[in-house]
Amino acid sequence: MKRRQFLQSAGVGLATAAVASPAIAQSMPETKWRLTSSFPKSLDTIYGAAEVFAKAVAEATDNKFQIQVFAAGEIVPGLQAADAVQNGTVEMCHTASYYYFGKDPTFAFGTAVPFGLNSRMQNAWQYFGGGMDLMNDFYKGFNIYAIPAGNTGCQMGGWFRKEIKDLADLKGLKMRIGGFAGNVMTKLGVVPQQIAGGEIYPALEKGTIDAAEWVGPYDDEKLGFYKVAQNYYYPGWWEGGAMLHNFINLEKWNALPPAYKSLVKTASALANEWMQAKYDASNPAALKRLVANGAKLAPFPSSVMDACLKAALELYGEVSAKNANFKKVWENMLAFRNDQYLWWQVAEYSYDTFLIRNRTRT
C-alpha cells in the first residue's frame, strides 16, 4: 500500500474510533442504583437471586452499572418494597407481586393465584402468552415496570400446630397466608395474617398464629418451623409456581439506555432460572432432614382441597364482577392454563407419574 493511501486509511480508522468511543461511553454511563429485597439475607436463595442479578449487571458493564442490594428492613420493611419503588425512594426492588394485593387484587397474578399456573406455565404465560404485557399495562398505573426474576416452584401447604383432618379443623385457625389465598381461606373460616418471612417463627412460637406457609423444605428448614409446628402439609395449592419480579421505577426504567435495558432483562432471566434450579436441587435433601427431625408430612385431605377449589372459584367470580383489570388477566391466564394441561397430561404428567411409581426400580 502506498504511503498516502495508508495515511488516508489510518485517518479514516482514527476518525471512526473517535466517533465510536463516545458512542460506547454514552451507551454505558456510570449508573448506581439501589435495590431493596423483600427477603432477609438468611434466605440465601430467594434473597440471593437479587445478588445474582446485580452481580451479572456489574460484570457485563465493567462495573459501570452498579446495583446495591439491601435486605428487607435495611431501607424499608419487606412488605413495603413496591411502595419504595413507586415513590422513588429506591430505583428497584426484588419482591413478590402478590404482597401488594391490598392495593389491587390484580397484583396477585404476578406471583401466583390459587389453582393457577405451575412454574413452567408461569414462564410460558409471561413470555409468550401475553402475561408480561398484561401485567405491565396494569403495573404502569403504579409507576412500576416489572420483569420476572425468580420462581420457587410449587410450594408446600405449610406448618400447622394441630392436624387438619377435615374442614372443621380450619375454623378459627390463625394462619400466616396473605393475598388472594388468604381471602379464599377466609371463606373456610381461617383468619389470615400477612407476616414477613423473618417474623413468622416468633409468631408461631408465641402462638400468635396457629399455622404458617412460606416456600418449601429448603427455606422452611432454615427458618426452623419444624421446631414449633410439626404438621407439614402439601401441596401449596395457592402457589403452584410462585414467581418473583424485579419491580423498577417506571421513570428510571424509561431513562435507561437501550443497552442497559437489554442487560437488565437478560440478568433478570438469569436470576429467574437460577432461583428455581437452586430450590429444585436443595429441596429433596432438606425434606429428608425435616422428616428425620420430626416433621409429620401429609397431604391435605381431599375434602379440604375440594372445598378450597370451590371457594377460590367463587372468589374469582366475585372479584371479577367488581374489577375489570382482574377479570381481564384472570380470563387470559385461565384459558392459557387449561390449554397447557391438554399438553401436560399427554407428555409431562404421564412421564412424571410413571417414573414416580417406578423410581425405586431405576
Digit-coded pLDDT (tens) for 235-245: 999 999 999 99
Model confidence at 299, pLDDT cuts 50, 70, 90, reads very high
- Out of 13-22, 87-96, 296-305, 309-318, pick the least confident: 13-22
Order of strands across the sheet with 92-95?
Answer: 65-70, 31-37, 92-95, 243-249, 144-151
Q: Is the pLDDT of residue 284 over 60?
A: yes
Q: Distance (Å, rounded) from C-alpha 141 to C-alpha 143? A: 6
β-strand pairing of 174-176 with 191-193: parallel
Q: In angstroms, how far is CA 250 from the centroid of its own chain?
A: 19
How does DSSP assign 171-199, residue by residue?
A: TT-EEE--HHHHHHHHHTT-EEE---GGG
Helical ranges in the chain per DSSP H: 3-27, 48-60, 81-86, 119-128, 131-139, 179-187, 200-206, 217-223, 250-255, 258-292, 302-322, 324-344, 348-357
What lies within 8 Å, CB to CB, of 37 at 6+ separation is 47, 50, 69, 70, 71, 72, 78, 81, 93, 94, 95
Q: For residue 87, count CB atoms less than 10 angstroms from its CB and return exposed for 0-12, middle for 13-18, buried for 19 or more.
A: exposed
How much is the pLDDT for 198?
Answer: 82
Which residue is it, cell 371479577? 320
What 3-state DSSP class applies to 128? helix
CATH number for the domain whose boundaries are 31-150+241-281: 3.40.190.170
Is the pTM higher than 0.85? The answer reads: yes
> CA distances (Å), 1 to each of 15, 16, 322, in order?
20, 20, 78
How much is the pLDDT for 8?
Answer: 47
What 3-state DSSP class applies to 50? helix
Q: Is the pLDDT of residue 281 over 90?
A: yes
> CA distances (Å), 176 to each of 69, 104, 199, 201, 351, in order?
26, 20, 10, 10, 35
Q: Is the pLDDT of residue 6 over 60?
A: no
31-150+241-281 and 158-240+285-355, same CATH topology:
yes
What 3-state DSSP class applies to 130? coil
Contact 112, 329 (CB under 8 A): no
Q: Distance (Å, rounded) from C-alpha 92 to C-alpha 79? A: 14
How much is the pLDDT for 231?
Answer: 98
Total count of residues recorded for the chain: 362
- What mean pLDDT do residues 266-295 have? 98
List the domain boundaries for the chain: 31-150+241-281, 158-240+285-355
CATH class label, 158-240+285-355: alpha beta
How much is the pLDDT for 213?
Answer: 96
- What mean pLDDT do residues 109-134 have? 98
How much is the pLDDT for 25?
Answer: 55
Compute the CA torsion angle 284, 288, 290, 292 (nearest 10 deg).
180
